[in-house]
Structure 1
Amino acid sequence: MLETLVFTLLCCLIQTHGYSELTDEIKNSSSLLDISDPDSKNTAVFRQLLNQETIIRMSLVKNVHTLSKDMLDLKKSMETLETSQQKTDVEVAALKKEVEELKRENQRLALENKLYEETFNATMENFTKVDEYIRQVVEHLEEKREDFETNTSAVLTDLKIEVRYLSVTLLDLNKHYLEIDKRISDNIQEKYEQLSLTLNTSVEDLTNDIMAANNTMVKSVSDLKDSQSSIENSITSKPKNVGFSASVTSPNSSWNRGTLVFSTVITNEGNGYNPSNGIFTAPVDGTYVFFVNVQSYYRKTIYAAIVLNGATKVKTMAHNNYNDAGPNMVVLNIKKGDAVWVRYSSGQGYYSSGSITTFSGFLI
C-alpha cells in the first residue's frame, strides 16, 4: 500500500512539472536565436528542449528527495502508530482482566455480606431471647418478693389478731374479776384469796402465753428477715456482668496446633478471660453464650473448636477461599471454675486485620 502511494505521488509530480515547463507557461528566453532558417530554428528548439529537460530533471530529483524524506517520516509515523496501537491493545486487555477480577471480587463480597447479615440476624435473635429470659427472671423474682411481702403481712396480721384476742380475754377476765369481787365482797377472806390466786395464776399464764406468742412472733419475723436477707444475698452475690471479647494481634499463616490465644482484650467484665493463655474460667455457675470467628489465611483452610474442660462442643470451618470466615456460637451450662477455650482441629493458619478473628462469651 505504501509503494502504491509513492508511485501515485511521483506520477502527480511528473504531470505537474511537465505541464508547467513544456506548455503555455514557458516564457521565451532572451538568449534563444530568432533565425528564420529551418535548421537554425530546429537547433534553437532542440536547445530549448534540452534546457527544459535539464530543469525538469533537477526538479524531479529534488522532488524525489523530498518525497523520500516524507516517506521515511511517514514510515516512522506508521511504526509509532503501530507501537501505540499494540500498547493500547495490551492496556485494553489488562483493563478487561481487571474488570473481570473486580466482578469476581464484587460477587465474593456480596456473598460475604450475605453471610455476615445472616450471622448478625441470628446473633440478634439470640440477644432477644436472652433479654426475654432476663425479663422473665426479673418478673419471677418480683413475684417471689410480692409473695414474701404478702406472707409477712399475713403473719403480722395473725399476730395482731392473737394479741387483740388476748387483750379481749384479759378484759373479759378483768371484768369477770370485778364482778366476782363485787359479788363476794361479803364472803370470807379465804375464798377471796383463792380467787385472787386463781386470777393471778391466770394472769401469769396469760402473760406467759403472750410472751410466748410474742417470742414466736419475733422469731417468725427474724426468720422472715433471714430468709429475705438470704434471697437478697443470693440475688446480689451473683455478678451482674460477666462477659469478654478478645481478638488475635496479627495473622499467622502457619498455626496448626494447640490453643488459639486471643491476646488483644476488648472487654473482660468479671476478669474471667486470661489473654496470656486464651482460656476463660467461669467465675460463677450459670448459662453462658460463647461465639468465635476464625478467619482463614489467604486460600487456606482452617478448622477450630470451642471446648469445655477439654471436650469439644462446636466446631468452625473456614474454607480455602480468599480469607473465608468460620463463625459459630454455643450456649453452655457450666459451673464455677470450668474452663472454655478455642482449640485447633485441622488445617493451617488464620487471618486478622482490625479484630476479625475473635472470641467472645457472656453470662445470661
Structure 2
Amino acid sequence: MWSGLFLVFLFVVQTKSLSVRADDRPQTSGPDGETAKTDILRQLLNQETIIRMGLDKKVHDLVKDVVKMKRNVDNMKKIIVTTNRDLLDAKNEIAAIKKENSILKTECQVQSNVTSYLYDNIRLAKNSIKQYQRTQIELSSAVASLEVFRKNMSLLDGYVEKSNVGFTVGVLSSNFPSLSNDIVLFNYVITNTGLSYNTKTGKFNAPKSGTYVFFVTAVSSYNNTLSFNIVYNGTSKVRTYSDESAPYQTGTNLVVLVLDKGDSVWVSRGHDKLFTTFKNIPLTTFSGFLL
C-alpha cells in the first residue's frame, strides 16, 4: 500500500517538472506557437487522466485492503473470544475433574477403612469360632472321660465291698510326676481300701494272692500323643494310646492278672507328652481291685 503511494508521489513530481520545462521554453507566436501550446496542454491532460486513473485504482485497492484487514481483525477477535470461552470451559472442566477426583479419593479411603474393619472383624470371628470349637472338644472329651470314670468307680465300688482290696488314684497336674524307670506317680487318692497302693512309690503291692483287675485311663493334651503301660513285676502287659490326629484323645485299657502276695503292679510312661486335667478333677486315673 505504501509503495503505491510513493509511486504516485514520484509521478506528480515528474509532471510538475515537465510543466516547468514547458514554461521555460521561449514562447513563440503564430500558428506554430499555438499548435505547440495545444500539444503541451493535451499531453498534460492525458498525464493527469492517467494519474487520476492510477490514483483511483490505488485508492480502490487501499479501501479493499482496509476492508479485508478489518474483516480479518473481526475474525481474529471472534477467534480470540471463542478461544477464551473454550479456555474458560476447559478450566471449569479441569476444576470439576479435580473435585471429582478428590471425592473419589475420599470414597476410596472410606472403602479401604471399611474393608480393613470388616477384615479385622472376620479375623476376630474366626478366632472366636476356633476357640469355641476347641472348648467344645475339650468339654466333650472331659464329659466322656468322666462318664468312663463314673462307670469304673461304680464297678470298683461293687467289688471293693466284697474284696476289701481296691484303689483309684489320679493326677491333677498336666506335668505329671514320675519316678525312676518312668513309673507314673498318681498322687491324688480317691479310694485306697486296704492301703495297697503306695503314693510314694507309685506301685500297687498285692496284700494277698488272687485275681486282680487293673484299669488305666489317660486323656492326651491338645493334639499330643500319649501312651501308658500297665506293668506287672517289670513286664508291660497292656498299653493305652492316644494319637495326635485329633485333640484330647482318650486312651483306656484293662487287664486281669493273677497275683501272688507281694507282687507289684504300676503304670509307666510310653510317650511322655502332656495329658489333660479338668477343674481339679482327674481325667487320667489308675484303678485296681481284687475279684
Q: Compute the TM-score of the two structures, normalised by the length of structure 2.
A: 0.52
Equivalent residue in structure 2 for 1:325, among 250, 259, 264: 250
- Name the structure 2 match of 1:310: 234
**Maintained 8 Å contact 2:141/2:248:** no
Instruction: For residues 164-216 of structure 1, give each alpha carbon's deviation from its aligned partner in whole angstroms, at most 9, with x where no partner exists.
Output: xxxxxxxxxxxxxxxxxxxxxxxxxxxxxxxxxxxxxxxxxxxxxxxxxxxxx
Distance 1:78 1:293 in 2: 60
- Name the structure 1 match of 2:109: 79
Distance 1:92 1:310 in 2: 55
Cα distance, 1:350 vs structure 2:
3.0
**Match for 1:356: what amino acid?**
L
Distance 1:84 1:319 in 2: 44
- Name the structure 1 match of 2:122: 92
- Name the structure 1 match of 2:199: 275
Does the alignment pair 1:359 with 2:280? no
- Name the structure 2 match of 1:182: none
- Name the structure 1 match of 2:173: 249
More helix by proportion, 1 or 2? Answer: 1
Distance 1:242 1:125 in 2: 12
Pair 1:116–1:360, CA change in 2 (3 A): same
Report the RMSD for the aligned CA atoms in angstroms: 4.9
Distance 1:270 1:124 in 2: 16
Distance 1:323 1:309 in 2: 31
**Match for 2:274: what amino acid?**
Y
What secondary structure does 1:329 align onto? Answer: strand
Pair 1:277–1:127, CA change in 2 (3 A): closer
Once the two structures are superposed, the pairs formed by residues 71-220 of structure 1 within 5 Å of their partners are: 72=102, 75-89=105-119, 91-92=121-122, 95=125, 99=129, 101=130, 105=134, 112=141, 116=145, 119=148, 123=152, 126=155, 130=159, 134=162
Cα distance, 1:342 vs structure 2:
0.5
Distance 2:138 2:276 in 1: 17
Pair 1:269–1:118, CA change in 2 (3 A): closer
In structure 2, list runs of 5 or more residues that go unmatched.
Answer: 1-80, 82-86
- Name the structure 2 match of 1:336: 261
Cα distance, 1:339 vs structure 2:
0.9
What secondary structure does 2:112 align onto? Answer: helix
In structure 1, list runs of 5 or more residues that go unmatched.
Answer: 1-49, 51-56, 138-239
**Match for 1:360: what amino acid?**
S
Aligned length: 212
What secondary structure does 2:189 align onto? Answer: strand
Cα distance, 1:243 vs structure 2:
2.5
Once the two structures are superposed, the pairs formed by residues 5-20 of structure 1 within 5 Å of their partners are: none
Pair 1:111–1:328, CA change in 2 (3 A): same
More strand by proportion, 1 or 2? Answer: 2
- Name the structure 1 match of 2:25: none
Distance 1:104 1:255 in 2: 36
Cα distance, 1:103 vs structure 2:
8.8
Larger-gyration structure (1/2): 2
Distance 1:297 1:64 in 2: 68
**Maintained 8 Å contact 1:318/1:326:** yes
Pair 1:275–1:300, CA change in 2 (3 A): same
Distance 1:342 1:331 in 2: 14
Q: Compute the TM-score of the two structures, normalised by the length of structure 1.
A: 0.43
Cα distance, 1:317 vs structure 2:
0.9
**Maintained 8 Å contact 2:213/2:256:** yes
Distance 2:277 2:147 in 1: 22
Cα distance, 1:114 vs structure 2:
9.2
Pair 1:283–1:83, CA change in 2 (3 A): same
